[in-house]
Structure 1
Amino acid sequence: MQFRDLKSQYAIYKNEIDAAVQDVMSSANFIGGSIVKELEAELADYVGVKHCISCGNGTDALSLVLMAWNVKEGDAVFVPDFTFFATGEVVSLNGATPVFVDVDETTFNIDVEKLEKAVKKTIKEGKLSPKVVIPVDLFGLPANYPEIEKVAEKYDLLVLEDGAQGFGGNIDGKMACSFGHAATTSFFPAKPLGCFGDGGAIFTNDDDLAALINSLKIHGKGINKYDNVRIGINSRLDTIQAAILKIKLRAFREHELDDVNRVFEFYNSKLEGSVVKPVIPDGYYSSFAQYTIKLNSKQQRNKLQNQLKEQGIPSMIYYVKPMHRQEAFSDKSYNELDFAVTNKLCDTVLSLPMHPYLKEEEVEKIAGAVNECLG
C-alpha cells in the first residue's frame, strides 16, 4: 500500500506521459517554449486569475513574490506556526522576520483572531513593520481568506496565499491560489497536482507584479536574458515537467479531485468515534493533500502508527515540530502559551494514506486497523 500512489497514476497515463516526454526530447527544447506557456495559460484559467508564472519549485515561488514586494530587514511577515519550514524560511531568506501565529484546532489553518493579536503586538513593540501575511492552505483546505483579508486591509498588509497543498480547493467556488494579492503553489510529486520532479507557480491579477516576477526568475532580465536590470535568481520550470503537468492537470480536473473527495467520504463513514476526523467548513472544498486525524495523546498516536506499520499501512506525521521550535529560529524567544494549539497538534495528528487511486477496500482495511487499535 502506498501513502500517495504515484505508480498507479503513472500506469493509467503512461502512454500519454511517455509520448509527451518523447516529444520534448525529440524537439530538444528543454527550457521554456510553447509547452510552458500553454501550461501557464491553462493553470491561470483553472484558478481564475490573469497571470500564472511558473518557476523551479514552490519555495522559489514564495521567495520571488517577497522579492518583488521588496520584503526586507525590519519587516514582519506573519506565518502559521503549524506548517512546513519553507513558509518561514523564505521570510528569513529575504532578510525579514517571521512572526509565528498559532492555528485553529479544527481546520489546522492560521487562527484569524490570533493573527490580529500578533499584528497589534508587533505594532506596539515598534521593532518591526508589519508587511505581509502568508496563510497556508494546509492539507488541502483553503485558509479563512474572507476574514484574513479583513485583517490585512485593516493593517495594510499584503496577503500571499501559500497554496502548495491547497491547489484545487475552493471557498464558495472561488479557487485556491486566487486569494490575496498573490498566491503560490508547488508541483512537488506528492502535492495534489504534482510533476515528476520539482516545480512551482505564482498566480496574480497584478500586471506589474507578474512582469517583475518574470524578470526576477531569470536573473533580473530586461528585454532579454543578457540585459540584466535587477538582481534576480534562476528559477524556471523545465519543459519536460510542463509537458507532464499538462496531462496531469487534465486528469486532476476530470476525475482526481472528485475521486480524492470520495475517499474522504469513505474514511468518514468507516472510521469510528475514537478519532477526530477532518472538518470541512460549510462552503469550503478541500483538495486533500492529506487526510489527517487527531488522537488523544502522543502515546496513543505513536501506538497507532506502530500498529499500522506492522500491518503494512503507511502513515505520516505532519508536523513533528512547530516552526517556533525549529533550531533555525532559535535566536528568537517565544512564549509557549502563544502556541498551545500547534504544540498539541504536533503531538496528536497522524495522516493516513490519501490519494485519488485509493480503493474502498483499502480504506476499509485502514479504518478497520485504526478502529481495532483504538478499541
Structure 2
Amino acid sequence: MDFIDLKTQYQRLREPVNARIQNVLDHGQYVLGAEVVELEQRLADYVGVAHCVSASSGTDTLLIALMAYGIGRGDEVITSPFTFIATGEMIVLAGATPVYVDIDPRTYNMDPALIESAITPRTKAIMPVSLYGQCADMEAIGAIARRHGIPVIEDGAQSFGAEYHGRRSCGLSEVGSTSFFPSKPLGAYGDGGALFTNDEALAKLMREIRVHGQDRRYNHPRLGINGRLDTLQAAVLLAKLDIFAEEVQARARIGARYGELITEAFARESDPARRVGVPYLAPGRTSVYAQYTVELDERSKVEQGMKARGIPTAVHYPVPLHLQPVFAATGRGVGSFPVAEAASARVMSLPMHPYLSEAQQTQVVQALYESVCA
C-alpha cells in the first residue's frame, strides 16, 4: 500500500497532464510562460483574492513574504514550534528570530490565547501554520494582530483547499502561502508554491523579489531571490486543478470515514493505553487532510506493528522546532512548550490520499487495532 498514491491520480489525468506538458515543450518558454500567468489567475480566483504570486517552492514563498515586509535582523516573528522546519528556517534565514507559542492540543495549531504575551516591540509578523489540512484559528489570530498593527502570514502549505467559516485557506490574512510539493493536496511533479494577497503593492513587491528584486529587465531596486515557478510545473498544476474540488471532497469523505472506523474499532477498549485519538475538526472549519494523523501511546511499537502488516506510516513531526539542534541557540529547552512536545511524542500519520478505497481503509484500521492491542 502507498502512503500517498500519486500513480493512480496520474493514470486518471494522463491525457490532460501530457497535453499540458507537450504544449510547454512546443512553445519552449520554460520560465514564466503563459501557463504560469494562467495558473496564477485561476489560483487567485479559487482562493478568492486579487493576487497570486507563484514561486519555486512553499519554502521560498515564506522567505519572499518576510522579505516583502522588510523583516530582518533584530526582528521577531511569532510562529508554532510544531511544524516542518521550513517555517522557522525561513524566519532565521531572513535574519529574524522565531518566537514560539504553544499549540492547541486538539487541532495542533497555534493557540491564540498564548500569542499576546509573546508580542514585544520587536514583533514584526505572526506566522501561524495550518497543520495537517485544517486552518489555524485565523479570526482570533487576526484580531490580536490588528490590535498590535502586525501582519499575519498564513503558512498554508498543508491546508490549501480547506475552508474557515466559508473562506478558503491562504485568503484569510494579509498574506497566505502554500506549497505544491508533490505530496501536498494540490501537488506538482516537483517543487512549487504560491503567495496570495489582496494588497496590490505587496503583490508587486513579492513579484519583484521572486525575480532577483527586478522591477524591469536588468533593473534591481531591491535584493531578491531566484524564486520563479517553472512553466512545466504550472502546466501540471493546471491539469490537476480541474479535478481539485472533487479531490478535496474525497479527502473530506475519507477523513470522516477514518474517524468513524477508528472510533468504532476502539470503542470497547477501556484501557487508556489502548485508545487512539482521531483528528478534531473545529467548528466552522473543513480539512483537506494533508495528513491523517492520530495520537496514541507506544508509537514505536505501533509503527513496527503496522510495518509488519504492510501498512506504511509517518510521523509529522517527531522533534518540535525549539528542540532542533540548529535552533539550540534560542535557549528554549525541553519543557518550554509542553503541548507541542507531548504531541511530537504521540502523533502518527496513516496512509491518506483521494484515491484510498474503503477496503484499504478497513485494512489500515484493522492493522492499527491489532498493532495497538498487541
TM over 0.5: yes
Which of the numbers 165, 168, 191 marks the counterpart of 1:175?
168
Correspondences of 1:101-250 after superposition (within 5 Å): 101-119=101-119, 123=120, 129-224=122-217, 226-250=218-242
Quote the offset at 1:335 in angstroms.
5.2
CA contact (8 A) 2:165 2:285 kept: yes
TM-score where L is the length of structure 2? 0.95
Q: Look up the equivalent residue of 1:295 and give its one-letter code.
A: L
* 5+ residue gaps, structure 1: none
SS in 2 for 1:54: strand
SS in 1 for 2:253: helix
Match of 1:342 in 2: 340
Correspondences of 1:76-115 after superposition (within 5 Å): 76-115=76-115
Q: Indicate whether 1:267 and 2:258 are aligned.
A: yes
Quote the offset at 1:12 in angstroms.
0.8
Seq. identity, %: 41
- Cα separation, 2, equivalents of 1:223 and 1:78: 34
TM-score where L is the length of structure 1? 0.95
Match of 1:284 in 2: 285
- Cα separation, 1, equivalents of 2:146 and 2:133: 25
Quote the offset at 1:338 in angstroms.
3.1
Q: Look up the equivalent residue of 2:15 and give its one-letter code.
A: N
CA contact (8 A) 2:181 2:192 kept: yes
Q: Look up the equivalent residue of 1:208 and give its one-letter code.
A: A
Q: Which moved more, 1:322-331 or 1:150-159?
A: 150-159
- Cα separation, 2, equivalents of 1:267 and 1:280: 13
Correspondences of 1:310-329 after superposition (within 5 Å): 310-329=308-327
SS in 2 for 1:133: strand
- Cα separation, 1, equivalents of 2:172 and 2:85: 22
Size of the alignment, in residue pairs? 363
Q: Look up the equivalent residue of 1:179 and give its one-letter code.
A: L
SS in 1 for 2:243: helix
Q: Deviations over 1:287-307 (max 9, x none)?
A: 1100000003xxx11111111
* 5+ residue gaps, structure 2: 267-274
SS in 1 for 2:212: coil
Q: Look up the equivalent residue of 1:52 and give its one-letter code.
A: C
Correspondences of 1:51-70 after superposition (within 5 Å): 51-70=51-70
SS in 2 for 1:266: helix
- Cα separation, 1, equivalents of 2:153 and 2:159: 13
RMSD across aligned positions (CA): 1.1
CA contact (8 A) 2:323 2:334 kept: no
- Cα separation, 2, equivalents of 1:222 and 1:130: 29
Q: Look up the equivalent residue of 1:371 and give its one-letter code.
A: Y
Match of 1:5 in 2: 5
- Cα separation, 1, equivalents of 2:15 and 2:173: 38
- Cα separation, 2, equivalents of 1:153 and 1:266: 38
Which segments of structure 1 move beyond 4 Å, counting only runs of 4 or more? none
Q: Look up the equivalent residue of 2:93 and give its one-letter code.
A: L
- Cα separation, 1, equivalents of 2:212 and 2:118: 35
Match of 2:270 in 1: none
Q: Indicate whether 1:19 and 2:10 are aligned.
A: no
